[in-house]
């Protein structure tokens, strides 16, 4: 799509009536990339049709449009034809030379205007139009209303019958003179190059990861990794943004199999736009020992988002009929860290911790937690 700056620069080039027409054409062509040239010329042709260009600009632009491709397959043939039909005198003769390709391209517009003399031309515009229509046969039909104006007193039955009598326009095929489609998006692990004639620098698509890394991520969720694989994955987590490739629903399995990896992944996603999905997942799973110890590592990074998880851990501990002392000590250790990093606890969480301390007051660590809470 042409930028406004390109259009301004094009108009400046067209306005220089002292340059030969070939040089003006070259300046326009090299102003933008090849894929953007059609859009730029289309924008300029709209200005031409709006009659906002000066005479040198209009004549120079007509020359540039005629050089886009052979005249009978030129996408701007209709533009030139329209300009020819509404022009008169010298301008009409100038455009006529474009149809028969005998315009003095080595001269400038000012020289041509000063001489006021152009090669004699003889051509049949209707024949050129017919040949153009053969080369570009697909014209999308204009849409005509099936029903008449409601204010017009027409026969309703006639309008309804008109629906069934109106033939369909047939398959609408895009014109042959449309610009080329964009390139496909880069595939998996594909290197995307810039325009070869300008730069050979490769660009890597940052949204993709290698197949080897993807396999390693899947293994981390389903099995315990050896030390070498763990180190490799840790390095990738530090260097590249691959934490997003672990889905929230995979966190529980990741904690079970590779707790260290899970901690690093969660540290990456906490305080990010996807934080809520992972925190909600942690709050929904059963608060096992390794889950509690994992969340404990995250409290220093962001403790205020784990209030619901803390509440669930306490409720789960209190409801256990035969509490496991090892589990209670783990919960106590977590709550102690939570209290230290949250000087101002919310009332529900504070009351839940008090109830927890009351139920397990015989355990020494719980008594220390209560003392910390009362400070």
What is the tens place of the pLDDT at every residue in 74-86? 888 888 888 888 8
What whole-number distance in Å separates Cα of residue 269 and Cα of residue 246? Answer: 10
Give Cβ neighbours of residue 246 (< 8 Å, ≥ 6 apart). 217, 221, 254, 265
Which of 350, 305, 357, 300 has the alpha carbon at shortest distance from 331?
Answer: 357
Backbone angles phi and psi of 243, in degrees to 5: -60, -30
- Strand 202-204 to 191-193 pairing: antiparallel
Count the neighbouring beta carbons within 10 Å of the beta carbon of residue 71.
21
CB proximity list for 74: less than 8 A, separation 6 or greater:
65, 66, 68, 80, 132, 177
The continuous run of DSSP H or E covering 312 comes out as helix 307-319
Whether 202 shows a pLDDT value over 80: the answer reads no
Alpha-carbon distance of 278 to 195, in angstroms, equals 41
Phi, psi of 242 (to 5 degrees): -105, 0
pLDDT in tens, 276-331: 888 888 888 888 888 888 888 888 777 677 888 888 888 888 887 567 888 889 99
Q: What is the pLDDT of residues 109-152, one digit of tens each?
A: 888 877 777 777 777 888 888 887 776 644 433 333 434 444 44
The pLDDT score that the predictor gives to residue 320 is 74
Q: Per residue in 32-64, pLDDT tens?
A: 887 788 888 888 888 888 788 888 888 888 888
**264-268 contacts: CB < 8 A, separation 24 or more?**
264/234, 264/237, 265/237, 266/294, 266/298, 267/297, 267/298, 267/301, 268/237, 268/241, 268/243
The DSSP code for 192 is E
Examine the pLDDT at 190 and tell me if it is beyond 70. no
71: nearest Cα among 102, 105, 49, 44: 102
- Say what the pTM is: 0.44
Band of pLDDT at residue 346, cut at 50, 70 and 90: confident
Calculate the average pLDDT of the chain: 77
| Per-residue pLDDT at 155 | 52
Q: How far is CA 32 from CA 28, 40, 275, 364, in A?
A: 8, 8, 44, 77
How far CA 57 is from CA of 31, 98, 100, in Å, comes to 16, 15, 21
- Rounded to a whole number, what is the largest CA-CA distance in the chain? 114
203-227, pLDDT tens digit by residue? 434 455 667 777 888 888 889 989 8
């Amino acid at each position: 799509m042409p930028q406004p700056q390109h259009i301004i620069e094009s108009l400046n080039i067209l306005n220089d009536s002292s340059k030969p027409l070939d040089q003006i054409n070259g300046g326009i062509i090299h102003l933008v990339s090849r894929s953007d040239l059609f859009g730029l010329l289309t924008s300029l042709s709209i200005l031409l049709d709006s009659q906002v260009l000066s005479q040198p600009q209009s004549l120079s632009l007509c020359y540039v449009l005629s050089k886009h491709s052979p005249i009978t397959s030129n996408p701007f043939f209709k533009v030139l034809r329209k300009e020819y039909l509404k022009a008169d005198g010298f301008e009409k003769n100038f455009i006529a030379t474009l149809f028969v390709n005998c315009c003095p391209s080595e001269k400038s517009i000012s020289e041509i205007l000063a001489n006021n003399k152009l090669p004699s031309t003889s051509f049949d515009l209707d024949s050129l139009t017919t040949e153009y229509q053969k080369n570009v046969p697909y014209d999308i039909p204009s849409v005509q209303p099936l029903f008449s104006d409601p204010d017009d007193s027409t026969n309703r039955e006639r309008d309804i019958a008109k629906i069934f009598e109106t033939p369909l326009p047939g398959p609408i095929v895009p014109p042959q003179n449309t610009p080329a489609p964009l390139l496909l998006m880069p595939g998996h692990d594909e290197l995307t190059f810039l325009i070869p004639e300008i730069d050979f620098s490769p660009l890597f698509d940052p949204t993709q990861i290698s197949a080897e890394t993807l396999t390693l991520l899947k293994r981390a969720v389903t099995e315990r990794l050896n030390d070498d694989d763990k180190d490799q994955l840790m390095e990738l987590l530090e260097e590249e943004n691959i934490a997003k490739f672990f889905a929230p629903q995979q966190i529980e399995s990741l904690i079970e199999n590779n707790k260290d990896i899970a901690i690093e992944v969660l540290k990456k996603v906490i305080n990010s736009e996807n934080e809520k999905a992972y925190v909600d997942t942690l709050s929904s799973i059963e608060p096992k020992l390794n889950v509690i110890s994992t969340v404990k590592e995250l409290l220093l990074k962001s403790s205020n988002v784990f209030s619901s998880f803390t509440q669930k851990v306490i409720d789960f501990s209190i409801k256990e009929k035969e509490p496991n002392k090892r589990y209670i000590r783990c919960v106590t250790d977590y709550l102690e860290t939570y209290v230290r990093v949250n000087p101002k606890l919310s009332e529900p969480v504070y009351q839940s911790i008090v109830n927890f301390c009351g139920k397990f007051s015989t355990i020494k660590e719980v008594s220390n937690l209560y003392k910390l809470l009362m400070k």
